Amino acid sequence: MITVQGLSGKNVAVLGLGRSGLSAALALVDGGATPICWDDNEAARVAAETHGLTCRDLKKQGAFDDVARLIVSPGIPHLYPAPNPVVSKALAAGVPVDNDIGLFFQSFATSDWNNFDITPQVVAVTGSNGKSTTSALIHHILEHVGRPCQLAGNIGRGVLDIDPPIDGEVVVLELSSYQTELARSLTPDIAVFTNLSPDHLDRHHGMGGYFAAKRRLFSEGGPDRAIVGVDEDEGRFLAGQLSEGPTDDRVMRISVEEKLTGPGWQVFARKGFLSEYRKGRQAASIDLRSVAGLPGAHNHQNACAAYAACRALGLAPKVIEAAFHTFGGLPHRSQTIAEAQGVRYVNDSKATNVDSAAKALQAFKRIRWICGGLQKEGGLEGLNAVSGEVLKAYVIGREAAQFAMQLDAETQVCTTMAEAVAAAIADAEAGDVVLLAPAAASFDQYDSFERRGEDFAAQVVARLSD
């Protein structure tokens, strides 16, 4: 556990008692603070009380008397589409609002570091798509070379649940916009911005607010090294804001859409090859086409980001290349579930928006596409533009018929995963890929994208074993 520093002897309110809220409350106790906890869910309050935590309704009058800070869990809105009533009360009382990420950066460094030969470092990864794979890949590469490391944040463990770092350790954090937008302290050593596409627009009041939430990771603490995807206008703008000029190699630009060969430090992938250029000269090249765990251009972008981060940490290109080939990928992200009779079954349940699903469609040939669910804002036009390899779409979800009507590809309304998998298997021929890439949230039928992906995998295994 990371012990919270700087709040000893103070009352700290904690709103939301899920994974991050509960770990924050316990870390506050460990640091000598007194957490005052609340969750509208009674079961969550009971669970907190079993840990010896005090729960008190933070909506009541006077709840923020003598409170030093309010810690808010990521899923609770603090501004848009409307502030949570508890957050409003805290702000009205002049109480600072923070989250577990802010507590982590406030508390990460300790006096024990004075005895270390190599100062621990934090690599923080954000972006719309690919941040989980990029974070896991960086962590995998570090493990491959025997470097002490931990993976946390929006993936793996909660940031305050990790072990205090040892000499030379690297902590890799995946951070969502919900986490970066509120943290009062954001001081990574290396910050990574993968890409930006529309998502969570109601929470951030549009694309401008969404980008601003991501940008805070770079603007609040000023990382020593910034790795920025420049395939969108926002990424190019961010890189320009952070850089002092074309030769400033503190900003590493990455791309999968263009060759980057300026005088700075750049990493790009084209036609399956990753290239590193520095000071106008090629420093390394890696053939990504045979890396089974990183299929498609979107994963090549993840490879560029992870490669750049590891180069910034001082790792050699050949070492990184070797680690790429032992990376198995993440569950629910271009994950091969099975191969039978020449047909490959791929679970990309994490493709919850149009952009991520479009990238999945571009990664494979001869696709039998299982899609649908709780549709997000913006329509499906981006999918139709890249659906040339889709042989047929099998649409699931409560509004499957409406979803199907927006697609140019041949469609079959299946509604359930069981029906979609059965139909796709019946139609599939050798050389086809049965791909789950929903382009929608899961909450109309599942409580998470993980449950949706697990159902797909279970249905595939069951049907193939019949």
Query: Which of 341, 342, 355, 388 is CA-nearest to residue 369?
Result: 388
Judge whether 185 and 102 are in contact, CB under 8 Å.
yes
264 labeled binding residue = no
Q: Is 177 annotated as a binding residue?
A: no
Residues in the chain: 466
Is 128 annotated among the ligand-binding residues?
yes
Annotated binding-site residue? 133: yes
Task: List, in order, residues 6 or more apart from 323 with CB less than 8 Å away.
Answer: 140, 141, 144, 145
Asked if 272 and 288 touch (Cβ cutoff 8 Å), the reply is yes
Residue 240 assigned to a binding site: no
In DSSP notation, 48-102 reads HHHTT-EE--TTSTTTTTT--EEEE-TTS-SSSS---HHHHHHHHTT--EE-HHH
Pairing of strands 149-153, 121-126: unpaired
Let me know if 357 is exposed, middle or buried by CB neighbors in 10 A (0-12, 13-18, 19+): buried
130 annotated to a ligand binding site: yes
321 φ, ψ (degrees, to nearest 5): -60, -45
Is 110 one of the annotated binding-site residues?
no
Burial of 233 (0-12, 13-18, 19+ CB in 10 A): exposed
Following DSSP, what letter does each residue of 307-357 receive, concatenated?
HHHHHHTT--HHHHHHHHTT---BTTBSEEEEEETTEEEEE-TT--SHHHH
Binding site feature residues: 127-133
Binding site feature residues for ATP: 127-133
